[in-house]
Structure 1
């Protein structure tokens, strides 16, 4: 008999099924989930979490995608907690992606919070000048060429990278196990690299909750991709992070998207099985076409919608996700990469011949 997770965010789940934005909810005494719109993104919204501190201030976990609509939803959600934006004195970020970090610069115009993030993501905030951004984009373009992309290899997704205002830095660079320091709460950071190199979950054993960010979602598998801001083998990191998460107490999971749930170990098992299936599918694609590029593998495996319907940014995300799987297969000795003589030529992959 299959085991499934227990959905606890029923109003969120019902809103998701209706393709609507869920309501602001008080999940625990002094803890609220605040949905913030992501515009036309298929995920529709991110869940920002607000915690009322015992000293009368407010702390936020993530801030949401930067837009006028999103900002108004965040402000209205904060007001629903009985606070004002100026009461926000601490903000901790699960990871650097723009739907989580994007509203920070706008928030700094209205409040003066202490900002915290894992150092592996925080270090990328130091890229401020156009020249530095250009170097990152050039690196991304070169990587796409080596992966076999032929459509001019413009990595549009990197243009969405959000930065702090000039002269502003992270106040705290968090590490695994660090206390967050919100009065009245028992929050600590749990480093879960994979989705990004510095992804953090936040656990409160007293309240019985774990804020899972994008590390664990109830329905979908988060994108785990190679890119200039990632670790060398992000999927390997993610699989280890999943195994470590399985050892945490079975608290209620408060994810950044979709809806709340219980059953961490079950969800971890589902995701581990999903990635093993994906590794098998990619191995079969390479076996069927030796000396194939990562781009051609990406176009040959299955996706949630036909690959031809994906936008350029989404197709490149799919490619980088495929590449992350291929690196794991290479580390396991299943695949072999043949480096080209010229840097502008793609790497080609084959199934490793048995000894």
Structure 2
């Protein structure tokens, strides 16, 4: 059932079955005439049922419910096809709208597979990923009317003035919402308190980790009293958490650099296999493939940042990208 976390702002927990994130924290801001839903859940029945039940419990009609998507990932966008009516509106950053359109193209996934081979994945893993990748499998349908917004767009609802702030890193066009007067930050996946957000490689970004760290600095400067995060425990001290997240990535960078200096000539996949991960698996071989995908992407983001800093070099050998 919905839980009121601030006046007229309700948390609806949407389960994410079989996903280590466990749940999505969606937020519904209930206005006198129109309401705003922030993020949705995977495009699967269990997510849809939980969300619809929460919306109905608040007495809100879908026709009167606009939707803001903090970013492109399918646990946030997946259900928009089931929630869209002729009278409501859906918003996302212009950057992530382009990313969403690309990910709904078979050519994009072909490019990803070709790049993944260069990173060190096997053909067998590529084949298995086609049926297990949640981002790919739970995307919303095409041909939905989604409105692109830019930084500075304001949602005025229930007495709040929520300003969209660009925070690239987790995705190229991730956005948070911030109300300065109330000190509210609706953080999406930019800041999560119980786990570190996955920062992966994106073809749209040269240095996604660098962008993420800069985005953390951007939010650190804001006066935030209440943070509403998209996963796990939604609340915490945002500045303290930003400090922890930056320290976490510094340690990861040091670890990746040490691996390369000890064993130059490894692929991204091989470097990820040697890094430390918080997961219930005895070794790299036992990693679930989806988690391997996240780990290799995150290792790659750290390698890209090291390249930008001039600390390592990337080169191609036998159709594989390697590092020294």
TM over 0.5: yes
Aligned pairs (5 A) from 1:1-355: 23-54=1-32, 56-88=33-65, 90-108=66-84, 112-127=87-102, 133-152=105-124, 154=126, 155-156=129-130, 157=133, 159-160=136-137, 162-166=139-143, 168-171=144-147, 173-182=148-157, 184-228=159-203, 230-305=204-279, 306-340=283-317, 345-350=319-324
Q: Which moved more, 1:43-52 or 1:331-340?
A: 331-340
Q: Which moved more, 1:305-314 or 1:90-99?
A: 305-314
Q: The residue matched to 2:171 in structure 1 has which SS?
A: coil
Separation in structure 2 between the aligned mates of residue 254 and residue 163 of structure 1, nearest angstrom: 24
Separation in structure 2 between the aligned mates of residue 126 and residue 293 of structure 1, nearest angstrom: 30
Separation in structure 2 between the aligned mates of residue 274 and residue 70 of structure 1, nearest angstrom: 31
Separation in structure 2 between the aligned mates of residue 28 and residue 43 of structure 1, nearest angstrom: 24
Separation in structure 2 between the aligned mates of residue 190 and residue 28 of structure 1, nearest angstrom: 21
- In structure 2, the gaps of 5 or more residues are none
Contact 1:141 / 1:153 at 8 angstroms: preserved in 2?
A: no
* Residue 299 of structure 1: how far off its partner (Å): 0.7
Separation in structure 1 between the aligned mates of residue 83 and residue 188 of structure 2, nearest angstrom: 20
Task: Give the paired residue count.
Answer: 316
Show CA shifts across 1:56-114 (max 9, x none): 222111112222222121111112223233331x1110001111001100101x56311
1:8 alignment partner in structure 2 = none
* Residue 339 of structure 1: how far off its partner (Å): 2.7
Q: Given the two structures, how large is their TM-score scaled by the length of structure 2?
A: 0.91
Runs of 4+ in 1 over 6 A off after TM superposition: none
The alignment yields a C-alpha RMSD, in angstroms, of 1.9
Q: The residue matched to 1:73 in structure 2 has which SS?
A: helix
- In structure 1, the gaps of 5 or more residues are 1-22, 351-355
Contact 1:191 / 1:201 at 8 angstroms: preserved in 2?
A: yes
Q: Which moved more, 1:63-72 or 1:144-153?
A: 144-153
